[in-house]
Amino acid sequence: MISSFSKVDEYGFERPDDFDYKAYEAFMSRYMVILTRRSMRWNSILSQQSLPDGGTMKRFVRKGVPAQFRGKVWMMTSGANFLKSRQPNLYQDLISDTSHQNWDEIIQNDLNRTYPDNIYFVPSSDGKLNSLYNILRASARHNTSVGYCQGLNYVAGLLLIATKDEEQSFWLLTVLIRNILPSYYSSNMQGLITDIAVLGELVRSKSSKLDRLLKDLHLPWPILVTKWFICLYAEVLPVETVLRVWDCMFNEGSKIIFRVALTLIKLNETELLRCSDFGDMAELFKQITRSSSVLDCHQFMEAMFKLPGSLPSSKIDSLRIRFRQVNVDR
């Protein structure tokens, strides 16, 4: 049995050589108490005939969904169960399709680049690579306007790790591509480009000094945050923190992606403002995703709903309309 404090974490990821075991042990001693309490609460919630109302559900989800319930809860809160109910045999039909498509080879080539530090994705193991291939191949056939886009392998891979279920992972990926993040993974990535511009405007309004500094350094937002957004923080933040973010994303939608980015910036604003050149700033944006403030996922989530302040969906929607039009006019 893999210990939480071994060289491999509970999700199969090898811990880096510089992993801070002492800080992690201190965090887990607090977090295990929270997890036990949340497991009991969620067991009670899911034993009822219907889920709590929207506001109550939001509070429960923000406090964290226990690992053993994530697949079931994500399917319910995201709308993936509804999509599946309309086409219950779709996934099996898609993976049974033996016709060759151009995406197949690209997906195959990307498999070995997916989480090379995870024991379940080692090519020689009997792990999850074949399941990941099935999910991505089925998704490319179903979501034909997208096909396959690099970055989806990380998202689908983590969905598979979290849910331990191929079909659930396929439907959750479909919800992300079609409903939560439309046009993020399309050929022109219009949704991604627009949302990065929206983040830039949010930073301008909430952290004007940093906005001016980035402009002075001629450092564009796409260089800093494209991987954050396209991978939905997978392969960016610690795994447990990503999964806590996804708990909220599947329930509240894409505005959560902005809250994460703004929180990372706010938590590290003082250090960011000390940067005096392009290279130092770009490097610091990488380092802030590995700091102690993101390792403690519970503390990070609490900060995520406080530090950025008010962030209504209506504001994000209006900014998206504005910047989408700017991109169209170019």
Q: Are 94 and 115 in contact (CB under 8 A)?
A: no
In-domain check, residue 8:
no
pLDDT of residue 127: 78
Domain count, the chain: 2
Residue 70, token pair as written in the block: 């994530």
In-domain check, residue 3:
no
Collect all residues with Cβ–Cβ distance below 8 Å to 264 and sequence separation of at least 6: 288, 289, 294
Per-residue pLDDT of the chain (330 residues; tens, 9 = 90+): 344 578 999 999 999 888 888 888 888 888 888 889 999 999 999 998 788 888 899 999 999 999 999 999 999 999 999 999 999 999 999 999 988 888 999 999 999 899 999 999 988 766 799 999 999 999 999 999 999 999 999 999 999 999 999 999 999 999 999 999 999 999 999 999 999 999 999 999 999 999 999 999 999 999 999 999 999 999 999 999 999 999 999 999 999 999 999 999 999 999 999 999 999 999 999 999 998 899 999 999 999 999 999 999 999 999 999 999 776 655
Q: Quick one: 203 and 141 in the same domain?
A: no
CATH number at residue 215: 1.10.472.80
Structural domain ending residue among the three candidates 180, 214, 234: 180
The distance of Cα 118 from the centroid of its chain, to the nearest Å, equals: 17
CATH number at residue 77: 1.10.8.270
pLDDT of residue 2: 42
In-domain check, residue 185:
no
Q: Quick one: 45 and 114 in the same domain?
A: yes
Distance CA 133, CA 37 (A): 36
Q: Are 254 and 230 in contact (CB under 8 A)?
A: no
Q: Quick one: 84 and 156 in the same domain?
A: yes
Distance CA 18, CA 157 (A): 24
Q: Quick one: 169 and 53 in the same domain?
A: yes
In-domain check, residue 290:
yes
pLDDT of residue 23: 85
In-domain check, residue 72:
yes
Residue 290, token pair as written in the block: 């590995």
pTM, rounded to two decimals: 0.94
Q: Quick one: 155 and 294 in the same domain?
A: no
Q: Quick one: 36 and 161 in the same domain?
A: yes
Structural domain ending residue among the three candidates 180, 208, 243: 180
Residue 200, token pair as written in the block: 């830039």
Q: Quick one: 144 and 195 in the same domain?
A: no
Q: Are 243 and 234 in contact (CB under 8 A)?
A: no
pLDDT of residue 1: 37
pLDDT of residue 50: 81
Q: Quick one: 44 and 101 in the same domain?
A: yes
Distance CA 172, CA 84 (A): 10
Distance CA 177, CA 152 (A): 9
- Determine the 3-state secondary structure of 8 from DSSP: strand
Q: Quick one: 153 and 94 in the same domain?
A: yes
In-domain check, residue 4:
no
**What are the Cα distances from residue 107, in Å, to 95, 136, 211, 229, 231?**
14, 7, 38, 20, 16
pLDDT of residue 330: 58
CA angle 177, 128, 246 (to 5 degrees): 40
Range of the domain at 295: 190-329
Q: Quick one: 159 and 199 in the same domain?
A: no
Structural domain ending residue among the three candidates 147, 180, 213: 180
Q: Quick one: 58 and 153 in the same domain?
A: yes
In-domain check, residue 281:
yes
pLDDT of residue 328: 60
Q: Are 168 and 124 in contact (CB under 8 A)?
A: no
pLDDT of residue 95: 96
In-domain check, residue 16:
no
Q: Quick one: 42 and 172 in the same domain?
A: yes
